[in-house]
Each structure stands twice: as structure tokens, then as C-alpha cells.
């Protein structure tokens, strides 16, 4: 087993499992704290709403399990947002690996830019990022209404309404706001890189 | 910059794609999974699979296809056709679909949209609307256009948005199959009324029609079937063309 994918009430873990299989990695989908803790890598995916996802994680004690992980961890979309400190979505206290807020897009000055952002947008990779430099200026697939502002942990930037974090990294924690499992060849390049960390 | 999306649509009946498919290099042109893989590799931004099977056995086949598509392609895909309950949605998402498209069942029971949005999030719920310009207004139709309703396109699209739709897929029945271009005026009007993305559908005959749907119709995405299936254009040349028209596309 190359990675554990955390199973919870937010989203489509099957897509992540399929994406890993396409790059030749074996993943196990689980909510068993023991399996997660022993895994060489952990992926924390997600599609959904922050407060109900957090409530589910707390109920199953997965929040503390995630916080204590020493192996490389990849948060995806809502998974990335839940690794932050607080989300405006449902006024939710999150896991807090990244001491950052998650804010709702405000399009009052640009009503033609719709919320959620849905579709393919370009990313700019920052120096030292886990996102391979070859992915710079390439497109990734985003679906979200909330965002993480630019900060010292930002490892890729994108722009929709304002520039914000497309990816984050700190110690053994990595995260993408976009869905690498749905981002074509660019996404597969990023997943392969994560599996080599 | 957010790219304008190009979405090939595949109609699936009893496990096979329908509408004569004319790819010379495709070993099994009728296999929806192979065709989806081909479009994905060519640069499609999303795919839509519509199940037009009526039988129960055919439905089970479709779920199996959804699972194989999820395994084969690395871009998002939407599935639709006959979805009437949260249970149907759960089955399709569980087998790897990213979004579902609801049509007749939502018109008959609008609460279905609220249920899907509440269980799975707004981004999962695409509301497909078939409408025809009748007696001076855009009227919604049920069952693939066979049954007229008393709802207008604008009013129903707005209600769908308020109930939690993530996108509106608008097909003009007047334009569908004509290959004379999309209903750009109605699309632009929808864009201005709604806060959620609008997907243009019906009438595409050439690349210029797609450019019009984006420029004149202000659409966020364009869906087409025939021009891709029959090989009139391929996705890379279409996107090159759109780029020369100043439109943001993923290349």
C-alpha cells in the first residue's frame, strides 16, 4: 500500500483512488485511525461543506489523527480548507495545521465572475513548491466558493476575483485547492510528485 | 484566467454510444468509455454522459459504464438521464461521476434539487432545461421535448438556482439538431439573470458557433455532440480557433 485515502462524509474518494491507480500507486480507502497512522502517505480529499465535514471528522476522532501525522499528507479542495484554522463556511473551526483563514469569494465588484468558480484556471508555481515547476502556467480544475488568501505557506497562486492560494505547504503537510485527480496530465504530474515525497 | 469549457456530450443506449460516430482511428467507436478517453486526451474540459436507455437492465449497464469512465479518464464528467432521487445520485457519484444532471424529474418535483444540493453540495447538481420559443416566450418541456409545461425558461432557471443548482444546462429545442448555431440571445439573457454558470447546448454546427455562444451568449461552457462525433472538427483545432478569437481556453 502506497497511500491511505481518508474516507469521510465529504466527497468522492473513488476518483482519487482511480487517479492513483492510473499513476501506478496502490491506495486504500479507510477511516481506521490505526491504518491511517501507519500509512506511508495520506491523502485527505473532499468535496462538500466545511461544518458538516468537520463535525464528522471530530465524531470519528479523525481530526486529531490527521493533526498528529508525520508522513506526507495531501489535502485536496475542502481537505485543504479543513487543514486551515477557520472557515467562513458555516463559521467552522478547522484542524489548524495552517494558521490561516478560509474566506468566501466576494464578487460584488465583478458580478460577471460567478460563484462557485467552476472550471479550469492557470496556476503559478512559487519557488521551492512541491508542485513541479513544469506545471507553472498550466491549467488545473477548480470547484469552490471559498478560498485561502496568499500567505507565507502559499506554494502555487491562481487568480479568480483576486489572487489567492492554489496550493499550500508546511513541513509534511501539502495541499491543493484544485483537484489534481481531475486535472488531466498536470494533475497526474502533481500526484506523482507527491507519491515520491 | 478561468477558461471557457468545451464539453462533448455522449448519448448512451444499452451500453453503446448512439448518433453515428465516425472516428477512423478508433477501434471501438461505439464504446462510450473509449470515446470519452479519446475526447479527454484531445483536450475536452469535461464530458457529459446521458443515459437514454429506458429499461431497468440498461440502467445497470449505465452504472457500470460510469464506473469504467471514472477509472479511464482524468477530467470531470457529468451523468444524466432518468435521475429521480437522491438514491440515484448517490449510486452515480459513488461510482465516480463528478456531477449529475437532472431534468424532467426536477421540473415535476423541484424539491429534488434542494435534496441533491443538501446531500452532496451545489456543485454536484446541474439542472438541464429543454425549452422552445413558443407564443412569444421560452417554454420548458418535459421528457425530451414531448410534453409542454407552463414554466418559462427564465423563471425555472432562477428557481433552480435558488434551490441549489450549481449550473444550468440550457438546450434550445428550436436550435437542437439544426447545426445553425446556439440560441445566443436567450443564453445572454440567462447569464445576466443568474449567478451560476450557464452551459450552452443545441445547434452547434461549426467552431464559429461555439465562439458566438461565448461572445454573444456569454456562456461559461459549450456542449456539443455531432460536430465531434462526426469528425467535423477536433478539439485541438477548435481550441486554437477560439484562442485566435481572443477567448480563454485550456490548450
The H-or-E segment that residue B142 falls in is strand B137-142
Share of chain A above pLDDT 70, in %: 99
Is there a contact between B15 and B41 (Cβ–Cβ < 8 Å)? no
Average pLDDT of chain A, as a whole number: 95
- One digit per residue, the tens of pLDDT, for chain B of length 251 reads 899 999 999 988 888 887 644 444 444 457 899 999 999 999 999 999 999 876 777 777 899 999 999 999 999 999 999 899 999 999 999 899 999 999 999 999 999 999 999 888 888 999 999 999 999 999 999 887 888 999 999 999 999 999 999 999 999 999 988 889 999 999 999 999 999 999 999 999 999 999 999 999 999 999 998 888 877 789 999 999 999 999 999 98
B220–A118 CB contact, under 8 Å: yes
pLDDT in the model for residue B169: 98
Of B70, B120, B122, the CB nearest to A18: B70
Distance CA A195, CA A3 (A): 8
Q: What is the ipTM of this complex?
A: 0.92
Domain assignment of residue B194, yes or no: yes
CATH number for the A3-196 domain, one of 3.40.50.880, 3.20.20.150, 3.30.360.10, 3.30.56.10? 3.40.50.880
3-state secondary structure of B46: coil
Q: Look at residue A42 and give its three-state secondary structure.
A: strand
Domain presence at residue B249: no
Residue B107 belongs to a domain with what CATH number? 3.20.20.70
CB atoms within 10 A of CB B234: 15
> Looking at residue B54, what is its pLDDT?
65
Look at chain B and report how many structural domains it folds into.
1
**CA dist., res. A46 & res. A62, Å (int):** 14
Task: Please check whether residue B251 lies inside any domain of the structure.
Answer: no
The SS3 assignment for A178 reads coil
Active site residue A134: no
By C-alpha distance, which of A185, A157, A187 is closest to A169?
Answer: A157
Q: Is A181 a catalytic residue?
A: yes
Q: Where are the domains of chain A?
A: 3-196
pLDDT tens for each residue of A1-30: 899 999 887 667 899 999 999 999 999 999
Cβ density class A112-144: b for 16+ within 10 Å, e for less: eebbbbbbbbbbbbbeebbbeeebeebbbbbbb
User: Annotated catalytic, B64?
Assistant: no
Each residue's pLDDT tens digit, A26-38: 999 999 999 999 9
Interface of B with A (CB under 8 A): 1-3, 5, 40, 45, 70-71, 74-76, 93-96, 98, 120-124, 166-167, 194-197, 218, 220-221, 250
User: Is the residue at B221 inside a domain?
Assistant: yes
- pLDDT at site B23: 41
Confidence class of residue A168 from pLDDT cuts 50, 70 and 90? Answer: very high
Q: Is residue B250 part of a domain?
A: no
Long-range pairs, B234-243, Cβ under 8 A, ≥24: B234/B42, B235/B6, B235/B8, B235/B39, B235/B42, B235/B43, B235/B44, B236/B42, B236/B43, B237/B207, B238/B6, B238/B207, B238/B210, B239/B6, B239/B43, B241/B207, B241/B211, B242/B4, B242/B207, B242/B210, B242/B211, B242/B214
Model confidence pTM above 0.90: yes
Domain that holds residue B205: 5-244
Which chain A residue has its CA at the smallest distance from B195's CA? A114
- pLDDT exceeds cutoff 80 at A174: yes
pLDDT of residue B153: 98
Q: Do B250 and A12 touch (CB under 8 A)?
A: no
B57's enclosing H/E stretch is: helix B56-72
- Rounded Cα distance between B9 and B13, Å, is 13
- For CA atoms A148, A154, A155, A156, the dihedral sign is positive
What single-letter DSSP state applies at residue B3?
A: P
Does residue B24 fall inside a structural domain? yes
Please give the average per-residue pLDDT across A49-55, as a whole number.
Answer: 88
What's the CA gap between A19 and A79, in Å, rounded? 17
Amino acid at each position: 500500500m502506497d497511500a491511505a485515502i481518508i474516507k469521510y462524509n465529504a466527497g468522492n474518494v473513488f476518483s482519487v483512488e482511480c487517479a492513483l491507480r492510473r499513476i501506478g500507486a496502490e491506495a486504500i480507502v479507510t477511516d481506521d485511525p490505526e491504518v491511517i497512522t501507519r500509512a506511508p502517505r495520506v491523502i485527505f480529499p473532499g468535496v462538500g461543506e466545511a461544518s458538516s465535514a468537520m463535525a464528522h471528522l471530530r465524531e470519528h476522532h479523525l481530526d486529531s489523527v490527521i493533526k498528529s501525522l508525520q508522513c506526507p499528507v495531501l489535502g485536496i479542495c475542502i481537505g485543504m480548507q479543513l487543514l486551515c484554522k477557520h472557515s467562513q463556511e458555516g463559521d467552522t473551526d478547522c484542524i489548524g495545521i495552517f494558521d490561516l483563514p478560509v474566506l468566501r469569494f466576494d464578487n460584488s465588484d465583478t458580478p460577471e465572475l460567478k460563484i462557485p468558480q467552476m472550471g479550469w484556471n492557470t496556476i503559478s508555481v512559487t519557488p521551492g513548491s512541491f508542485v513541479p515547476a513544469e506545471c507553472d502556467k498550466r491549467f488545473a480544475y477548480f470547484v469552490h466558493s471559498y478560498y485561502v488568501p496568499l500567505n507565507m505557506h502559499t506554494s502555487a497562486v491562481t487568480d479568480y476575483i483576486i489572487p489567492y492560494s492554489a496550493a499550500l505547504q508546511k513541513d509534511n503537510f501539502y495541499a491543493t485547492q484544485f483537484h489534481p485527480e481531475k486535472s488531466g496530465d498536470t494533475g497526474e504530474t502533481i500526484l506523482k510528485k507527491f507519491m515520491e515525497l | 484566467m478561468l477558461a471557457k469549457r468545451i464539453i462533448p456530450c455522449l448519448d448512451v443506449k444499452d451500453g453503446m454510444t448512439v448518433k453515428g460516430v465516425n472516428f477512423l482511428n478508433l477501434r471501438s467507436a461505439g464504446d462510450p468509455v473509449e470515446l470519452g478517453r479519446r475526447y479527454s486526451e484531445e483536450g475536452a474540459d469535461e464530458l457529459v454522459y446521458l443515459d437514454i436507455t429506458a429499461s431497468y437492465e440498461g440502467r445497470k449497464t449505465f452504472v457500470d459504464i460510469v464506473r469504467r469512465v471514472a477509472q479511464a479518464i482524468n477530467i470531470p464528467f457529468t451523468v444524466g438521464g432518468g435521475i429521480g432521487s437522491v438514491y440515484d445520485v448517490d449510486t452515480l457519484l459513488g461510482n465516480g461521476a463528478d456531477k449529475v444532471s437532472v431534468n424532467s424529474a426536477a421540473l415535476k418535483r423541484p424539491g429534488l434539487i434542494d435534496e441533491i444540493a443538501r446531500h452532496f453540495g451545489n456543485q454536484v447538481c446541474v439542472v438541464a432545461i429543454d425549452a422552445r420559443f413558443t407564443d412569444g416566450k421560452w417554454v420548458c418541456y418535459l421528457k425530451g421535448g414531448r410534453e409542454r409545461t407552463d414554466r418559462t425558461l427564465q423563471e425555472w432557471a432562477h428557481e433552480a438556482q435558488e434551490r441549489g443548482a450549481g449550473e444550468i444546462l440550457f438546450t434550445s429545442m428550436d436550435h437542437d439538431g439544426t447545426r445553425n448555431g446556439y440560441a445566443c440571445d436567450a443564453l445572454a439573457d440567462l447569464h445576466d439573470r443568474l449567478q451560476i454558470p450557464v452551459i450552452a447546448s443545441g445547434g452547434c454546427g461549426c467552431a464559429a458557433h461555439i465562439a458566438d455562444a461565448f461572445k454573444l451568449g456569454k456562456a461559461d461552457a459549450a456542449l456539443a455532440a455531432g460536430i465531434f462525433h462526426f469528425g467535423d472538427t477536433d478539439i485541438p483545432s477548435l481550441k486554437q480557433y477560439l484562442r485566435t478569437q481572443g477567448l480563454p481556453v485550456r490548450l
